[in-house]
Structure 1
Amino acid sequence: MSVRLCVREPRGEPVQIADAVLRIQILGPFRASACQAELPLGPRKQCTLLALLALRAGERVTVEELAEALWGENLPASANALVHTYVARLRRVLEPDAPRHRRNNVISSARGGYRLNVRDEQLDLQAFRTLTRQALALISLRQWEAGWQVFDRAMRAWSDPFLKDLTALLPDHPAIELLRRELVGAALEYVRLGLEHGRACLVLPIAERLALVEPFNEVVQAHCLQALTRTGQRTAALARYTEVQARLRTELNVEPGPQLAAARAEAIEARAEQWSDDVPAGSSRPPWRGPGSVVDDLVGREEDLTRLCGLLRRHRLVTLTGPVGAGKTALALALAEAVRGGYGGGVWVVELSGTASLRGVVDAVAAVLGGTGPSRHVPAGSMSDAAGQPQLLLVLDNAELVIDETAEFVNELLRSSSGIRVVVTSREILGLAYEAVHQVRPLAVGEQDRGNPRRLMESPAVRLFARRAVQLSPTFQLSESNALLVAAICRRVDGLPLAIELAAACLRTDPLRLLLNRLRDPLYALRSTWRGGPRHHGSLYAAAHRSMELLDEAERRCFASLGLVDGEFCVEMAREARRMLPGDDDVPLLLNRLVDKSLLEVCSNPLGRRYRMLRVSRALARDTLNRLGHPPRPSAAGHCIPGC
């Protein structure tokens, strides 16, 4: 598709591509887009160059500074020439239709260097700074409500609390630390003002984000405790204080200071009705109907929870999607518990795993809302009236087998009522235009720490295994002597929380090394004797096999054939594997469908689009292949070759 450019002189109108303004994002995933399509920025060093220009937008950045950011002290002899080459390539990407000699509107030449010329709305960092200044100016003029709305918009621009992409491109660059301080300072003022004006519910996601970014900052931690307390989460506030206290003692050998102590005292003395602006008067907490919230604290999901709280604050529909056993339900319930204080109508959790039709979805929701008899059989649009409550949070769990029906129901429900927000868990997204999606990934096992038992003991997957193991086998103790074995077990089940907990339960009968050997076939090795959970969580096979019910015949054949492939693979490799079964299908289309249904992952690779499967998914594919009468055998292709 050709792209039409409307260019300008450096101080004129903004650079526009077709009808959309060029946008560059550095406060979240690093990307540049035009016409709502992501632009191919090229190899890492080109991205690094653009990142530094964006970080110092409007300033002259010398060629020497750019070269140092790209190569550090190991400058090649042609460093300056390479910088000019990277700039030329970026200009071609950002202004593709402009004549070569006029591609200097976005990246212009400056004496001895280059300058990025963008308007505030084109670069999220500039938007953040401008909106923050405007907000504080309005608040200083006592225009509180207007200032607050602008401040809230500023906070939305900062989507990644850890600036992971920017830090990876510019490691140890002093400008990154200065930017972090600037972001934290602004966000801390936002939280302080919100607490001061009874907006604890609105600032809680940012307060929790700050607490992750600044684990030793006592002011930040104290504000987070206050936000939890004032949203009715007194127990969570006290638990967080205990964590912070232990961290300060262990890492810094100090006791909590006066601000943290005051926040703890507030939590101890608080009663829910004290904060009537945030928690409805007349009840200790908003109601909760349906399956209860998680009993144990989640492990390794702090960053997920922070991002989800932000998504739910900005969007009325949030879908948690991901592979089998990734912990979507537990995370959704933890999210609902975290924001419960802000929903006067309460939290309503509906389990959809046993439904098979739109009527079944409506009936399941009506049953939780308390409907009986014929009144339960009503259109989705009537559900908001049945709720009869302001700001209700509806959680629809395990919607993958009724995904079309759930999408129809949710669409009608949200269009008919402005007081309801919906969280959905599903292995496949609903596909609605206004849906915000959060990918729930397996827990990290510490791939970079394979030979370091002490570091492995801190990885989320190993911590979860150890916690569950101690619950079921009190004599178990995680130590440096067994951390490598535990990590190997967690890797063998892909870091999936469900599989990790099922594996830990096996310690009642099997020692660690025997358990590791059993997990060569995790699909059939892991079964549960737990009561009270969903039926499909009774074994890893039952949970994984539920994914097969999402597939049509062509998708099932394609998925089964991928059991012949090891490691990452490309489309050609998938085509070769697919030829071993009867039929002639559109393999690229089917691969995309399997990605949509959380059975494949797309992985980044400089050679092009690649796919990979979790070990559990590959075991399921081979099992399916065997049931189709084609026992798995090594593929002639085996792996992708470079350049395929």
Structure 2
Amino acid sequence: MENSLGKIICDLRREARLSQRTLAERSGISLRTLREIEHGRVRRPHPSSLQRVALVLDDPRLSDALAGQVGDRTALGDGHHSLNLQVFGHLTLKLGPVELGLGTPMQRTLLGLLAIHANQVVACEEIVEVLWGDDPPNTFTQLIHTYVSRLRSLFNRQSDTLTQRPQVGYHRGGYELRIVSERLDLGVFNDLIQEAADARRCGDLTAEYDILAQALALPAGPLLEGAASGLREHRFAEEHRRGHLVAVLRFAQMESSLGHYEEAIAILRPLVPQYRLHEGLHAALMLAFAASGQQVAALDLYNGLVSRLRTQFGLEPSPDLRAAHMSVLRQNAARESLSLGAPAPAAIPHSLGDFVGREELYPVLRYLVGARSATPFGAAPIASLHGGPGVGKSALAIRVASRCLSRYPDGVLYVDGPVDAHPVLGCFLRELGVQAQDVPTSLAERIRLFRALLTHRRVLVVVDNMEREDVVRALVPTGFHTGMLITGRERFYAEGVRHFLIPAFTADQAYELLCRMIGISRVAAEPTAAQMIIERHDADPKSLRSVGLRLAAQTDLPLAELCGDPTASTTVRV
């Protein structure tokens, strides 16, 4: 029996084009044990070793031969292990630690196609297109049926519970792989990405970060690596790849925002060989390199991509990639400037942690980062934010300024509600490195020195809560690299100034602000009271923030108590 069994294993291994080492590794047994079994030198091979070999080779001839030694073929599976399918990396089906054979290349391709459409019906026409393209054989219907039957047999031979075992069903002219998400690595990944998206919508960035970390910690590799081109290039496979890359870029962005530049690099760099022409990936990695002090690596990465784009496609880099390149160059210039002792002031208030996203932020940001229109004061872009009291102009300006730091690496000069330009300019000059005894006494001389110092520097001047235009005019910088941001109830009138009206909060924005300050669960517990608070304060962010601070400090204070309605906590918000 042993000699006959060893010969069957040897023959099947050669038919499957597997070396002894490969079969031993997939079976989880030693190479020496496999050799002894094939040569018939083991009197009574251990049943578990034979079971593992049979699971990998997956052939009825071996199962029949083993029936007398290890019982019925349905016992080949280990009831303590689950059946799991992996599509990241090479397509793999495992029973516990044992990798199972998936049959012919066509059968593997069909399983891969069903897996990326898991729990969805795949039409027979689509199966034919992926398996054979434009030249299917006349017997394609029978061949598909044969492949499906073999997959069903493969799944059914395992002793996994019926409710958890993958199944292939026929439905309305197509086939469906029914599998719980926990048994498919792509399903686990997609579930986590959905949870992260939900956390982001709720404003819980900490939860989003933790969930993305879990998703990206899963064993992964290129999706369907080594599969047939028709499957690798399938639109669903491409969608999954894009989703994975978006998640990686988002997590790397969050790591960078926390100052974890080395971690961001470790996440992004392995993807470069797979996405050699992806400009967004390269831009993110360049910025992470530069932020960690590796300007040379950042510039080498940029030059390599630009060379490929120009040589292979005759294309120039995109605006986003060029902007990342300029940011790297400016950071390098700023580092050299700082090494020579030049100051980089950043006297800007801390950006609010509960800042609610505003669409108005992006046009202001784009203007300050990219504007180059000449004005009577030079080429500095000047943005004027105006709106009613309490609408959040200052919070928006501070957020914009904090996002502009890469464009203005020499620093930010900030003043709140100036009533006299003379002392403000004195403070600015000292922040720019002028010794106190060298600060001019007259206003005209201070203006002249201030503008001279900014001629070749990349500095953003922020004047918050403007009251007098004449004071602001004295603080306008000159030079081709500076910028200015002004907030006030009225517009700042000057040639070349771009005006941005900041409207009052919408009800949805006010609701989001309250959720961020006191927690979404607390707002959800008293929805009508929350709505009444928002309405009572006219969705005014300044007033709402005052209420939110009180509620955040008194965690046991009911929202209904602040709106004076004892029934508000039990009313459903619609």
TM-score range, shorter chain: 0.3 to 0.5
Compare CA radii of gyration and give the structure with the larger one.
2
Please give the TM-score of this superposition, normalised by the length of structure 1.
0.37
Please give the TM-score of this superposition, normalised by the length of structure 2.
0.41
